[in-house]
Structure 1
Amino acid sequence: MTAVLMVAVGCGAAGLTTALARDDGRYANSPLKSWFDQLRSEKGPCCSDADGSAVSDADWDSKDGHYRVRLEGEWIVVPDEAVVKGPNLAGRTMVWPMYLDGKPVVRCFIPGSMT
């Protein structure tokens, strides 16, 4: 089982109640590791691939000029400042959620190519 870590310090999540990470070193040799490690939105660093989650095409879209993503069964509007700028080298849509008062909020989001 993957070790659960609090990432309040590692991801700069001050003020967030709970944030869980799954970085157990399994992506250490990934050719995209350095790219994931430098990803950031205007909200701050996204942390790494291990902290983000891939999102299926059915669980993200755009509405009224903003992205939105389904987290825990609820559609969450992605704040513009959470969208990662630049090319998506991973190709798949990813989201880095954090939790504020027990509710998911988006720290980082990078759209992929819908197939």
Structure 2
Amino acid sequence: MLPLASAPGEARDPDGRYANSPLKQWFDSLRSGKGSCCSDADGSAVSDVDWESKGGRYRVRIDGEWYDVPEDAVITEPNRVGRTMVWPIRGYQGLSIRCFMPGSMT
């Protein structure tokens, strides 16, 4: 996975370096059924080999391990960056996926 820091409009922007990005407001507004994406988790771009869709469901590989994406974590609005994005959260119960935005597989 590539950290979003290499793309304009980083998910969380604690130091303000993406404040003038044309996509910042859009990233800040992204929500899934689990809530706001950028408020609690850092988003990362996902390579095409690290996600898949089968039977209308998504899976994503994070740190070498595959995770099923919960339906309520999928962002359904159009993807303005084109890249697949995931917002994982690590907690006391392990990793969960806050938001997932599919891109176009090339």
| Partner Cα distance (2:93, 2:18) in 1 | 28
**Residue 98 of structure 1: CA displacement?**
0.3
Task: Describe the SS at the equivalent of 1:69.
Answer: strand
Counterpart in 2 of 1:107? 98
Residues matched between the structures, number: 94
Q: 1:25 to 1:55 in 2, by over 3 A?
A: same
Q: Tell me which structure has the larger Cα radius of gyration.
A: 1
Q: Provide structure 1 residue ranges, at least 5 long, that are not aligned to the other structure.
A: 1-20
Distance 1:23 1:103 in 2: 24
Deviating above 4 A after TM superposition, structure 1's stretches of 4 or more consecutive aligned residues are: none
Structure 2: give runs of 5+ residues left out of the alignment: 1-11
Which stretch of structure 1 is more off in the superposition, 23-32 or 90-99? 23-32
User: Secondary structure of 2:79's match?
Assistant: coil
Q: CA deviation at 1:102?
A: 5.5
Q: Alignment identity in percent? A: 66
Change (3 A) 1:59 1:100: same
Normalized against structure 1, the TM-score is what?
0.74
RMSD: 1.8
Give TM-score, length-normalised by structure 2. Answer: 0.80
**How far apart, in 1, do the equivalents of 2:52 and 2:15 lie?**
30
Indicate whether 1:41 and 2:52 are aligned.
no
